[in-house]
């Protein structure tokens, strides 16, 4: 990416570790949605036999935190910590942003300046993690309840259902904003490649861009330069072409 961008038209928003954490979440929640639907809706019950659906559902649930743990140990855990800290802290501009509420999604004019994550993204992350926790607790109780009726609470299944419903709404909104909404489409490349358009970022995440440019300008330059040097080597070698015709 950086080698295509000597003029710095893009800016790195997410590290490889952050993106891996995002896509691991998407994959495991996707698997749990499919297998959960097979378990929950009679209409889907015949897509997959029940024991298989159940095993896949439970193993996906275990794989999610295990994958995150592996990323924390082996990946760039500082960037994960930075994202959690970013999502935790809401300043006055964030509160003003939230006050604009749903209207802000339709009309971004007068948007208070936002950091790397806007207030809606922070809230989405916090609520998603909270709901995953609720699903984990209620799911564990459902699992235990099948083994020992002492753990059978009638409420476990209700809360599991409600949390699923709430998470479904969050994910649908998230997908709409990421894929279709004009003002936020610019964020998509951030979670695929890690980089977003600098002008788009300046418009929607002004405080982040100016902070990066002011305090980390030197570091960004170094990163872009070294990244360019590394990547320039890869496509530059035309050796295989020569080897294809050794006789000639």
Q: Is 133 in the site for other proteins (CB under 8 A)?
A: yes
Contacts for 199 with CB less than 8 Å, ≥ 6 apart: 9
Is 125 an interacting residue with respect to other proteins (CB under 8 A)?
A: yes
What contacts 151, CB < 8 A, 6 or more positions away?
Answer: 141, 144, 145
Residues 6+ apart with CB under 8 A from 88: 122, 126
**Does 96 help bind other proteins (rule: CB under 8 A)?**
no
Q: Which of 30, 65, 81, 130 binds other proteins (CB under 8 A)?
A: 130
> Which of 102, 149, 180, 247 contacts other proteins by CB under 8 A?
149
Within 176-195, which residues bind other proteins (CB under 8 A)? none
Assess contact for 168 and 131: CB atoms under 8 A.
Answer: no
Beta carbon nearer to other proteins, 9 or 50: 50
d(CA 175, CA 124): 12
Q: Which residues of 219-239 are buried (b: 16+ CB within 10 A; e: fewer)?
A: ebeeebeeeeeeeeeeeeeee
Among 32, 163, 177, 224, binds other proteins (CB under 8 A): 163
For the CA atoms of 151, 153, 157, 159, the dihedral, rounded to the nearest 10 degrees, stands at -110
Binding segment (CB under 8 A) for other proteins, from list 16-24, 91-99, 203-211, 226-234: 91-99
When asked if residue 47 is in the footprint of other proteins (CB under 8 A), the reply is no
Confirm or reject binding of residue 211 to other proteins (CB under 8 A): no
Which of 9, 78, 103, 158 binds other proteins (CB under 8 A)? It is 158
Q: What span, in angstroms and rounded, lies between the C-alpha atoms of 229 and 2? A: 9
State yes or no: residue 90 binds other proteins (CB under 8 A): yes
The residues, any chain, with a CB within 8 Å of residue 20's CB and separated by 6 or more, are 71, 75
Instruction: Single out the segment in contact with other proteins by CB under 8 A; choices: 23-31, 82-90, 174-182, 215-223.
Output: 82-90
Using rule CB under 8 A, residue 148 touches other proteins: yes
Residue 133 C-beta: closest distance to other proteins, Å: 5
Chain positions contacting other proteins, by CB under 8 A: 39-43, 45-46, 49-52, 54-55, 84, 87-92, 94-95, 122-123, 125-127, 129-131, 133-134, 137-138, 141-142, 145-149, 152-163
């Amino acid at each position: 990416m950086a080698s295509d961008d000597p003029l710095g038209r893009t800016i790195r928003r997410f590290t490889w570790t952050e993106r891996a954490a995002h896509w691991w979440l998407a994959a495991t929640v996707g698997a749990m949605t499919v297998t959960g639907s097979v378990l929950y809706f009679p209409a889907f019950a015949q897509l997959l036999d029940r024991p298989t659906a159940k095993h896949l559902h439970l193993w996906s649930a275990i794989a999610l935190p295990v994958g995150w743990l592996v990323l924390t140990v082996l990946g760039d855990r500082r960037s994960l910590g930075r994202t959690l800290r970013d999502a935790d802290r809401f300043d006055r501009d964030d509160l003003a942003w939230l006050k604009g509420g749903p209207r802000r999604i339709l009309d971004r004019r007068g948007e208070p300046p936002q950091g790397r994550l806007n207030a809606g993204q922070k809230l989405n992350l916090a609520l998603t993690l909270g709901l995953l926790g609720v699903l984990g607790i209620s799911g564990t109780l459902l699992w235990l309840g099948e083994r020992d009726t002492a753990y059978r609470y009638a409420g476990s299944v209700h809360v599991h259902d409600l949390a699923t419903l709430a998470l479904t709404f969050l994910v649908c909104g998230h997908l709409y904003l990421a894929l279709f909404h004009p003002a936020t489409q610019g964020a998509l490349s951030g979670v695929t490649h890690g980089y977003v358009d600098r002008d788009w970022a300046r418009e929607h995440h002004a405080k982040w861009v100016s902070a990066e440019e002011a305090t980390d300008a030197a570091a960004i330059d170094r990163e872009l330069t070294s990244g360019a040097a590394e990547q320039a080597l890869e496509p530059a070698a035309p050796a295989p072409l020569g080897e294809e015709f050794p006789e000639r």
